[in-house]
């Protein structure tokens, strides 16, 4: 259900709104909205094929864009080469 609802939000809301909803509603415990900028950076990097770009998250941890996409379940926000 979470994946289908996320796709619907992506289609009908601004990206930040869809991310806020996704991080709060599709995660337990909910992910704080302070992660939205890092999520946006990871999405943009992956859309450009820069999967290994290092991004510092608000908790001080640095991860690659692809690790953030996977960890926050943001796959629906990325336009993958196969799409």
Three state DSSP letters for the chain? CHHHHHHHHHHHCCHHHHHHHHHHHCCCCCCCHHHHHHHHHHHHHHHCCCCCCEEECCCCCEEEHHHHHHHCCCHHHCCCCCC
Query: What's residue 1's pLDDT?
Result: 44
- Segment-wise mean pLDDT, segments of 10 residues, the chain, 83 residues: 62 86 92 97 96 97 98 92 64
How many independent structural domains does the chain possess? Answer: 1
Tell whether 41 is covered by a domain: yes
Tell whether 72 is covered by a domain: yes
Tell whether 82 is covered by a domain: no
Query: What's residue 74's pLDDT?
Result: 95
State the residue for tokens 């337990």: 28
Tell whether 53 is covered by a domain: yes
Query: What's residue 31's pLDDT?
Result: 97
Query: What's residue 20's pLDDT?
Result: 94
pTM for the whole thing? Answer: 0.86
Expressed as residue numbers, the domain containing 23 is 2-77
Contact residues for 36 (Cβ-Cβ < 8 A; gap 6+): 16, 19, 20, 23
Tell whether 83 is covered by a domain: no
Tell whether 33 is covered by a domain: yes
Tell whether 62 is covered by a domain: yes
């Amino acid at each position: 259900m979470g994946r289908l609802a996320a796709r619907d939000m992506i289609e009908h809301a601004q990206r930040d709104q869809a991310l806020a909803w996704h991080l709060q509603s599709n995660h337990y415990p909910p992910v704080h909205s302070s992660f939205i900028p890092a999520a946006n950076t990871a999405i943009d990097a992956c859309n450009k094929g820069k999967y290994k770009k290092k991004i510092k998250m608000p908790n001080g941890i640095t991860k690659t864009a692809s690790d953030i996409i996977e960890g926050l379940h943001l796959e629906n926000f990325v336009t993958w080469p196969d799409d």
